[in-house]
């Protein structure tokens, strides 16, 4: 089975207000098409690790490979292009542009990538919204739909460039149980039906236990996986 992500001996230090060893010798692999939850108490290093895995934080020791490419040591412009093509990131808060339509919000990463015509991007964006059962909201301003719908639009935006890896930082943290179940089912479909690799930081034990594997952290270390 192809390996989507490999982290080797990742160490992370914060230097202010005093030196703090946040991640301590983190090593693991995630296979393509695997749905992995990262759990642990607040402050254990989950989100810190996710931001390194997503290439947004490059100030660490150790090595990281994504899709058989060495990420560690690459320049920022290369990493930005890699992220836009290979990684879809979903935050706890949706970060949609409130005055833009849902459709335009989803189109933005693809317009930035610039591979397809505007017409093709618009078609693909609408298809992603339909996949997430919010096609009927496409032309509404993002500020005019419910919180659960906004998070689904944010997931559609994360999918628009057909990334192979989808990362989420508490992607259901602001959702009620019904919408959490909808998002989980979508992640499951993306992993098993579309061979997407899902890596989600979560405090939700029910969510974690239904995923393929749990990586549990404590005090900057992996204690179980």
Share of the chain above pLDDT 70, in %: 100
Tokens representing 159 are: 């999918």
Q: Is 172 inside any structural domain?
A: yes
Tens digit of each residue's pLDDT (9 = 90 or more) over 106-130: 999 899 888 899 999 999 999 999 9
Tokens representing 181 are: 């179940």
Q: Is 205 inside any structural domain?
A: yes
| Residue-wise DSSP of 17-51 | SS-EEEEEEEEEEEETT-EEEEE--TTSSHHHHHH
Residues 151, 173 contacting (CB under 8 angstroms): no
Helices (H) then strands (E): counts for the chain: 7, 10
What CATH number corresponds to the domain at position 213? 3.40.50.300
What is the average pLDDT value for the chain, to the nearest integer? 90
Q: Is 134 inside any structural domain?
A: no
Tens digit of each residue's pLDDT (9 = 90 or more) over 62-82: 999 999 889 998 999 899 888
Q: Is 181 inside any structural domain?
A: yes
Q: Is 21 inside any structural domain?
A: yes
Q: In total, how many domains does the chain have?
A: 1
Q: Is 106 inside any structural domain?
A: no
How much is the pLDDT for 147?
85
Q: Is 14 inside any structural domain?
A: yes
Helices (H), the chain: 46-53, 76-86, 102-113, 118-131, 147-159, 177-194, 205-210
In terms of residue numbers, what domain contains 17?
3-97+146-224
At 4, is the secondary structure helix, strand, or coil?
strand
Q: Is 65 inside any structural domain?
A: yes
């Amino acid at each position: 089975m192809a390996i989507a992500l490999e982290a080797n001996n990742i160490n992370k230090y914060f230097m202010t207000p005093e030196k703090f060893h946040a991640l301590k010798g983190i090593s693991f692999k995630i296979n393509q098409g695997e749905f992995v939850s990262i759990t642990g108490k607040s402050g254990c290093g989950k989100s810190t690790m996710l931001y390194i895995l997503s290439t947004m934080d490059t100030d660490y020791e150790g090595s990281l490979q994504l899709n058989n490419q060495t990420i560690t040591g690459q320049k920022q412009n290369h990493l930005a292009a890699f992220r836009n093509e290979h990684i879809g990131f979903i935050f706890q808060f949706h970060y949609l542009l409130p005055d833009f339509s849902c459709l335009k919000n989803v189109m933005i990463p693809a317009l930035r990538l610039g591979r397809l015509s505007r017409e093709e991007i618009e078609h693909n964006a609408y298809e992603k919204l339909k996949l997430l059962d919010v096609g009927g909201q496409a032309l509404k301003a993002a500020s005019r739909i419910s919180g659960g719908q906004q998070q689904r639009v944010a997931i559609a935006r994360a999918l628009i460039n057909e990334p192979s890896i989808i990362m989420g930082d508490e992607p259901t943290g602001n959702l009620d149980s019904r919408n959490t179940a909808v998002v989980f089912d979508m992640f499951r479909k993306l992993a098993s039906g579309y061979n997407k690799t899902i890596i989600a930081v979560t405090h939700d034990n029910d969510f974690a236990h239904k995923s393929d594997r749990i990586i549990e952290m404590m005090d900057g270390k992996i204690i179980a996986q």
